[in-house]
Structure 1
Amino acid sequence: MIIMSVSHLSLLATPTLVISYIVAGIFAVLLVIKPRKRKTWWRHVIIAAILGSAIGGTVIWYVGDVQNAFDVPPTWVDRIWTGVLVAGICVGVVNLIGTTWIRRVIAAFGIVAIALASGLAINNDVGEYLTVGQLLGTDTTASLVLPRPAHTGVTGVDSDLYATWKAPAIMAKRGRVGSVTIPGTLSHFSARKALVYLPPAALVANAPALPVVILLSGQPASPSSVMTSGHVPEIMNAMAKKNHGLAPIVVVPDQLGASSNNPMCVDGPLGNSATYITRDVPDWILGHLHVQKGAKAWAIGGFSQGATCSIQFAAAHPTLFGSFIDVSGQKYPTLGSDAQAIQEGFGGSTAAFDAAKPEAIMKANAPYEDTVAFFAAGQNDAVYSRNTDVMTALASQAGMHVTRYVSPGSAHDWTTATNGFSHGLGFLYPRLGLSKSVVSE
């Protein structure tokens, strides 16, 4: 019970952040208090703090800006707190040398407290991990429980479902989220468990066949990131409430294999991610859920790396996905560098790398007769806003019906992802046959 309680502890809650900052501040004060008989104390502390700040600033500049390890420039919050972290460690080390055992114990706890506060501050900036369990990868979502009697089977596209659907008098107010195992039958891709959202309309007797939305996380992340950090259940429940319980069935599969992996949503040396998402996942959905079949009833979307995958898949498979949501995606799939991507992900083939770019895929399949593209990026995300400029232009040139949204005041973070999902899914409601007009959360 204690483990479960800790696992659900919020990392973004104001009390958690404030307490961590206060504790770190107290230890910081204790670490700089001059001990007896240390005449050069202040000189050492000041040098350690300045040196630590310089090291921290240099490290995040090199890793984030020069190496582009995060595929987006670090924010000033990230830079400042990285400097605080390394400065705190350096001052803590000063306290470990030639001091009493009590002082050394305080220094050890102080380093941990400052590291924890810095990590929480940076996490709060990007909104990556909501709970302790999500951070540790130990959060568990119960296995999906289908309604009784279970509803499976496939029907054609129903573009007027909102007009014919009559909600029963008694119906759940919220949808149901559960985990499922989607095997890589054809791809042999080793995926983590997927998550599924069933709206209220899917939980009643004689439930209607519903449209499908597949959502993909960024990298590093997991399917749970989309549901928790992306707030998809809350978004869907709010929209379902406005539409008599109607919402798409949302499936969040794992296109990565592990949080640190990036197979770039192609079939290659890093895994057959493309076949998994475009064959194994749809086959599982059609065999286990009561859904509509047809491109107009199926959409795919994602954030960051998942957004790049979404435009790759939708552009390459217009008869499977009639719509896609690209929130802060790349112009094309890559790793730390294009050279690394070519070598590790495409077996050294530059031609295969170029062919996997959405621009090449769209040119090969254009013109698109009935593909709807929704792009979103954060107002403060210069890099991915420029990517979006490029991709919206290419999609329009290929004949897609393009809409763009800018998330106010956010950058390359889960706030942008949440807003992008909310507006994108609401925009697709009429196309999916779930409402007469666009729905906002």
Structure 2
Amino acid sequence: MLDDMPTWLQPTSPAILIIIVALLLATLGWTLVWLPTHRHPRRHHAIGQQSIAVLVSIALSLMLAFVVLNQQNSWFTTWSSMGGVGDLSHSETVGDPTPTSQDPIAWQTGTPTDLQADPRSNPAFGEQSWVDPAPEGQYLTVSIPGPASGHTSSALVWLPPSYLDHPERFYPVLIGFPGLPGSINAVADGLHPDELITSLSSQGQLRESIVVIPDVFPDNVDTECVDASDGSILMETFVTRDVVGWIRTNLRADSDRAGWTTIGYSAGGFCSSMLTMRHPDIFGSSINMSGYFVAGFEGPKLREDGDTTYDLTVLAQTDPPDVDLWFYAAKDDQMAYEAWQSFNSVVQPPTSLTTELVESGGHTTQVWAAGLAPGLKWLGQTQPHFAWQAA
């Protein structure tokens, strides 16, 4: 019913902003001008009128602040979006069919280097409060230097519960990206990938995996994870050479690209799909939640207008990579939904795109938190290196 309202009455419409501002000005005029000159003769009535006026003014001020922030961030494009995450309403796979229920690959094993064998004695991890045993795994904050990119950044590393107990075992890797504004902690605290991986592993639906969350938006600069035309920011280089190199040097990571995936939401969703599609030699799959497929900068543009280097709709048509992509969003998230429609129509083999859309929920953490579990299940069902093996 709320979605049947005309567009100009939806929360991202300028008309809503004008209406609230007009109501707020009228209420302030009533509070500050009319009531003091037309005070009710009975004191308790006068106090009641003034109290109501103040409360209405506060409510309208808060509503105005919410509408402004919502229009800036596109959290809710319809009123029904505010009712929570809707039911799954669309599911499909285009391009190369993605087989499910594949036979899992056995744990990759081998002789680790001295740095890989035990992170507790690896200086790259610095001073940490190690937990052993760690039935829920453990997060560590590290600093990743950038010899290739010139960018040094902090990152969160999550080691799964069995990691310290199996120095001979090499694990699949998930690299996670937040939205903007955001931080490395936003992924950990908002989506809880550690809890989901542990839970799905206990249910036999996903293999224990390493999670690494690098800071790709330093000081909330919208890098879109790209390399700037002028070389001032080399974030794509940072992730694909510095972060990946650090992981391979310091962690026991699966050596096969099929054991590497990217995960992100909103701007981080674009990072996820872009890095996987542009670097199929490193990543075999991607989980993109409410992201998009063409770099779009908020603030200084790091690439020139008309530059299609980071336009994934062009890449999907001209040089489709052999990767598996998974996309999840709410239909009332206009930006993500329209981006998916454009991209979905051009995907072709050997690229595979599996999509799950829910009816409502907007561009919110609730949608992404709801989407990560089915995304990880898809990973365990379609990628043999992530398919469950007893830990």
1:351 corresponds in structure 2 to: 306
**Aligned CA distance change for structure 1 residues 41 and 76 (closer, same or farther; 3 Å):** farther
Secondary structure of the 1:302 match is: strand
Post-superposition offset of 1:176: 2.2
The match for 1:372 among 313, 318, 324 is 324
The residue aligned with 1:435 is 387
Residue 177 (str. 1) matches residue 159 (str. 2): no
How do 1:184-199 residues align onto structure 2 when only pairs under 5 Å count? 184-191=146-153, 193-199=154-160
Letter in 1 for 2:324: V
Aligned-residue Cα RMSD (Å) equals: 3.7
Where do 1:146-295 residues align within 5 Å?
160-161=105-106, 173-191=135-153, 193-243=154-204, 246-258=207-219, 260-268=220-228, 271-295=233-257
Q: Which amino acid aligns with 1:188?
A: G
1:392-438, Cα deviation, whole Å (9 max, x unpaired)? 333x336412212235763322222223222112211251424369x
Which residue number corresponds to residue 7 of structure 2? Answer: none
Q: TM-score, normalised by structure 2?
A: 0.68
Task: Name which of structure 1's ranges 383-392 and 279-288 shifts more when overlaid on structure 2.
Answer: 383-392
Aligned pair partner of 2:354 in 395, 400, 403: 403
Give 1:388's match in structure 2, choosing from 336, 340, 359: 340
* Contact 1:216–1:302 (Cα < 8 Å) also in 2: yes
Q: What is the distance in 2 between the residues matched to 1:224 and 1:198?
A: 15
Query: What CA distance in whole angstroms lies between the structure 2 residues aligned with 1:38 and 1:271?
Result: 64
Structure number having the greater helix percentage: 1
1:397–1:205 distance in 2 versus 1, CA, 3 Å? closer
The question of whether the paired residues in 1 share the 8 Å contact of 2:327 and 2:355 is answered with: yes
Tell me the matched-pair count. Answer: 310
Give me the whole-angstrom Cα distance separating, in 2, the residues matched to 1:325 and 1:423: 10
Measure, in 2, the Cα distance between the counterparts of 1:397 and 1:245: 27
Match of 1:362 in 2: 316
Distance in 2 (alpha carbons) for counterparts of 1:200 and 1:55: 48
Q: Structure 2 vs 1, CA of residues 207 and 411 (structure 1 numbering), >3 Å: closer, same or farther?
A: farther
Task: Name structure 2 gaps, 5 residues minimum.
Answer: 1-39, 86-102, 111-131
Q: Which moved more, 1:313-322 or 1:421-430?
A: 421-430
SS in 2 for 1:219: coil
How much has 1:160 moved relative to structure 2?
A: 1.5
Deviation of the 1:46 alpha carbon = 4.6
Bigger relative CO (Cα 8 Å, ≥ 6 apart): 2
Query: Could you tell me how far apart the structure 2 residues matched to 1:240 and 1:78 are?
Result: 32
CA spacing shift, 1:331–1:53, aligned 2, 3 Å: farther
- Displacement of 1:313: 1.0
Q: 1:76 to 1:174 in 2, by over 3 A?
A: same
After superposition, the Cα gap between the structure-2 partners of 1:61 and 1:172, relative to the gap in structure 1 and judged at 3 Å, is: closer
Show the 5 A alignment for 1:84-103: none
1:10-64 deviation digits (Å, cap 9, x = unpaired) = xxxxxxxxxxxxxxxxxxxxxxxx9x96985555555555555555545544554
The equivalent residue for 1:153 is none
User: In the alignment, which of 417, 420, 424 is matched to residue 375 of structure 2?
Assistant: 424
Q: Distance in 2 between matches of 1:244 and 1:332?
A: 32
CA shift in 2, pair 1:286/1:164, >3 Å: closer
Cα distance between partner residues in 2 of 1:327 and 1:403: 12
Q: Is contact 1:176–1:198 with CA below 8 Å preserved after alignment?
A: yes
- Which secondary structure does the structure 2 equivalent of 1:397 belong to? coil
Equivalents in 2 of 1:403, 1:244: separation in Å? 18
Match of 2:290 in 1: 328
* CA distance in structure 2 between the partners assigned to 1:190 and 1:163 by the alignment: 30
Q: Deviations over 1:188-223 (max 9, x none)?
A: 2253x2111222332213441111111111111111
TM-score, normalising length: structure 1: 0.61
